[in-house]
Amino acid sequence: MQELTKQELHNLGMNIVGKKLQEMGYEFVAINSELKKHPQFVLYKKGEPTIFVLVKTTNNIQSPQEYDVLWMETFKEHAKNQNAKVWYAGIGIANAESIELPVFKDQPYYIAFDDFIKF
């Protein structure tokens, strides 16, 4: 069995978030799936301000929505200068057999993602 790399785990989280955003009726102005490059999604919907979506994928399914407050404040300031809103998506993905094990390619996994934190 082959363990997912950090980039592959991040891409899996991005796919989950992207599908949800499409279901919500948003258009993607830009998508950046590179690790540690933000925002991951820039969204457009007629009549609404631009939205920057930050995606963080972790193997912590207990509290995947935790984030670095100082970093978020800095990013929120950047978004404000762009007249944009910020949404944060914390995605927890863990091995379905045991959360102690890594997530493997082509093996079952759990997803913990309730909703976006909107700033």
Give the burial class of 93: count Cβ atoms within 10 A of its Cβ; 0-12 exposed, 13-18 middle, 19 or more buried: buried
- The helix/strand count (H/E) of the chain reads as 2, 6
The reply to whether 24 falls in a domain is yes
Q: Which domain holds residue 114?
A: 6-118
Q: Does residue 18 form part of some domain?
A: yes
Q: Are strands 50-58 and 84-95 parallel, antiparallel or unpaired?
A: parallel
Instruction: Determine contact, residues 98/77, Cβ cutoff 8 Å.
Output: no
Task: Return the CATH number at 38.
Answer: 3.40.1350.10
Residue 84 within a domain: yes
Q: pLDDT 10s digit of each residue in the chain, 119 long? A: 999 999 999 999 999 999 999 999 999 999 999 998 899 999 999 999 999 999 999 988 999 999 999 999 999 999 999 999 999 999 999 999 999 999 999 999 999 998 999 99
How many domains are there within the chain? 1
